[in-house]
Structure 1
Amino acid sequence: MSTSDKDDELAGTEAPFVSHLIELRDRMIRALIAVGIAFGALMLWPGAGALYDLLAAPLAEHLPQGATLIATSVITPFLVPLKITLMGAFLIALPYVLYQVWAFVAPGLYSHEKKMVLPLVISSTILFLIGVAFVYFIVIPGLAGFIQAVAPESITAAPDVEEYFGFVLTLFFVFGIAFEVPIAVIVLVRIGVVTIEQLKKARGYFIVGAFIVAAIVTPPDVISQLSLAIPMCLLYEAGIIAARLFVKHTKAPEGATEA
């Protein structure tokens, strides 16, 4: 093939590629604007300080009488509440951010595939938020109570606010991703990587893997590890059930051809 023929062959692909990049840029900007609007709204009400107090509440309730979280850096009392507000803004804007992802890939999907993507976007958002709520209401209070129960009386707990924020943010991310297990199971079955029967046979391996993952990514205490491993096992079973129902309703119509 001559050079001119190659140029002619590539000429028709440059414009679509550039248009896809432009659309991707526009949707990223929209997602960032949504996060920015949520951030501004949270700064106005309830405010960065109130959000910090809300995030610190599960730990503060289990601290010794008169003890509080401390700041070891001059600028920490200013930066940490801002980071917490930004995290809250992202969680609020998460449905819209995932919608932008879905809108970007939707034009390249078939109608029966679109039926699968939108419910997955909604359910993945809900599951991620459930994982965050699970950390806030179950894991942190349980961990704080456990630490206070085993800590010597001569030690007064006064955690650093920046370390606490990093610790909580890590748990939010880990548990949020872990609660996406049903989504991962459904997608793997839908695209044909594994079958439901194979998932059932691999149940024992997954349970062992869940406890290994929990031991690696969570703090070295029994409560955190069990709080992650047990829900992952239950969500794996839920994913198998959901995959059987979900994939059945998102198959291509009989006789349909895909280019």
Structure 2
Amino acid sequence: MDSWRIGDHLSATYAADDDCRDLMVGFVRRGVAAGHRVVVLLDTYSFELARALTAAVPDAAIGQFTALRFGAGFGGPGADGTPFGVADLVAGLTALYEQALAAGYDALCVAGEMVWAQRAGFTAADLLAYEAQVNRSVGVGRAAALCAYDRRRFGADLLTRIGVLHPGPLLRFTLGGWGAHLRLSGELDASNAGALPAILSLVAGADSVVLLDASDLAFVDAAGAATIVRFAASRPARPTVVRCAGSVRQVLRLVGADSVPSLVLRDQNSGV
């Protein structure tokens, strides 16, 4: 877990506790070494993992690294017995992010040992909703996320559906700029194309022109290009401007870009 950077939303699976520890240690060490605030969310009974992670970063500044266990630092039913849900988790992550920036850190790195989600009673739909929301959180802010899933505890079909909601490390995206501005970089292929609808949904409701800046997208396959074309077609009253290289523009045209009036293709070096 040495190739990630801020802006990544990563997924990893493991089938042995040692593998989980190694994944987490690599992520935590890299985040601390870069000077970021690092938080790990662990299962209730992950005492040994919490100790191993703390020992792995002895040089972390006070307050820079925190290991939280479900029900003993984060999560758990409310005072009135209300179950801990996706909205509660997202609110908690938002608070951690704001606290990190307020404390002077340039970014927040969060890793989750996702067994805790079963302890919280999350359904498959809850997990998918959570992962889609993390895409928004990572894309909007200065953050990175790693979700580690135990193959012994989560079914293969669910893990496949969860995996495609994680665009990193090949595909990266950021939100910002004027109006609704979504920037894509890296490669869009079969390994991550399933994450694209969730990413595009971040700007789908914009009451303005959407600029999809794919200038730094080195490759797009037909499935990814078709998703972009369908997105533009779903907003017929408002233009979607795609700024991209000639190779990406060619694939978009092959899957029907020219038949969608609201889709405007621009050269990667052009203005809006």
- Normalised by the length of structure 2, the TM-score is 0.23
- The structure having more radius of gyration, on CA atoms, is 1
- Normalised by the length of structure 1, the TM-score is 0.23
Structure number having the greater helix percentage = 1
